Amino acid sequence: MKRSTLIVLVVFLALVGVMLYLNQKEPATSEADVTPTAPVEFLFSDSDGLPTIIDIKSSTGQQTVLERNDAGAWVLKKPIGAEADQGSAEAAASQITSLRIESKPEVAPDAAGLVQAPYTLTVKTTSGTTKTVRIGDLTPTGIGYYAVIDDSEETLVISRTGLDALLTLLESPPVATKPVTNTP
């Protein structure tokens, strides 16, 4: 084979390779390939309104009750009757409105610790709605707590972050502290 024929053959194969490379198409993504994301669902909806009474009880007998008075200020009703720290109480109310439902697993109430629930959260809102949430065990993944609303049979997983913040109110109720003044 002549040298010039060999060069033409190599150039021809190179051109065919470049043409095949440039004609490759991007894989088309169809709508069927896209994984849909579930909408974010909250324990309390906007139509429920804002919390006016927050009652948290533990199975060991601890209880913290916060109530918004006619002036709109938070008052601590239990464990003692006192003025509530407004910042902490408002943070708790805000936390309640942002409690996310992470999932709705098919778990029996007894397997989720909901038969004798360690905690009960009762919230009354400005719309007059009252919801009682029994809070059970922590999920195996640690993402949240099993819960049931009122007398529903549907087990929910509620965000751990939000509930942990509320459950600390049992150990540390938001009592307003008066500033200490030093008198000479």
Among candidate residues 64, 61, 45, the one with its CA nearest the CA of residue 53: 64
In this predicted structure, what is the pLDDT of residue 27? 64
- Each residue of 78-122: pLDDT tens digit? 888 888 888 888 888 888 888 888 888 888 877 888 788 899 999
| 3 part of a folded domain | no
Long-range CB contact pairs, 159-164, < 8 A, 24+: 159/99, 159/100, 159/101, 159/102, 162/95, 162/96, 162/98, 162/99, 162/100, 163/99, 163/135
> What pTM value is reported for the model?
0.70
In this predicted structure, what is the pLDDT of residue 180? 41
In whole angstroms, give the CA distance from residue 116 to residue 1.
91
| 12 part of a folded domain | no
| 54 part of a folded domain | yes
Residues 150, 132: contact at Cβ < 8 Å? yes
Handedness of CA 8, 11, 13, 15 (dihedral sign): negative
| 51 part of a folded domain | yes
Q: Which of 106-115, 126-135, 162-171 has the lowest mean pLDDT?
A: 106-115
In this predicted structure, what is the pLDDT of residue 38? 67
In this predicted structure, what is the pLDDT of residue 57? 92
**For residue 123, is pLDDT > 60?**
yes
| 130 part of a folded domain | yes
| 139 part of a folded domain | yes
Quote the number of domains for the chain.
1
In this predicted structure, what is the pLDDT of residue 97? 86
* CB atoms near residue 168 (< 10 Å): 15
**For residue 183, is pLDDT > 60?**
no
- Each residue of 47-70: pLDDT tens digit? 888 888 889 998 898 888 988 888
- Domain boundaries, position 125: 42-171
Residue 182 binned pLDDT confidence (cut-offs 50, 70, 90) = very low
**For residue 124, is pLDDT > 60?**
yes
Higher pLDDT pick, 35 / 13? 13
Q: If you write DSSP's letter for every residue of the chain in order, what string do you get?
A: --HHHHHHHHHHHHHHHHHHHHTPPPPPPPTTTSPPPPPPEESS-GGG--EEEEEEEETTS-EEEEEE-TTS-EEEEESS-EEB-HHHHHHHHHHHHT-EEEE-----TTTTT-TT-SEEEEEEETTS-EEEEEEEEEPTTSSEEEEEETT----EEEEHHHHHHHHHHHHS--B--PPP----
| 19 part of a folded domain | no
| 182 part of a folded domain | no
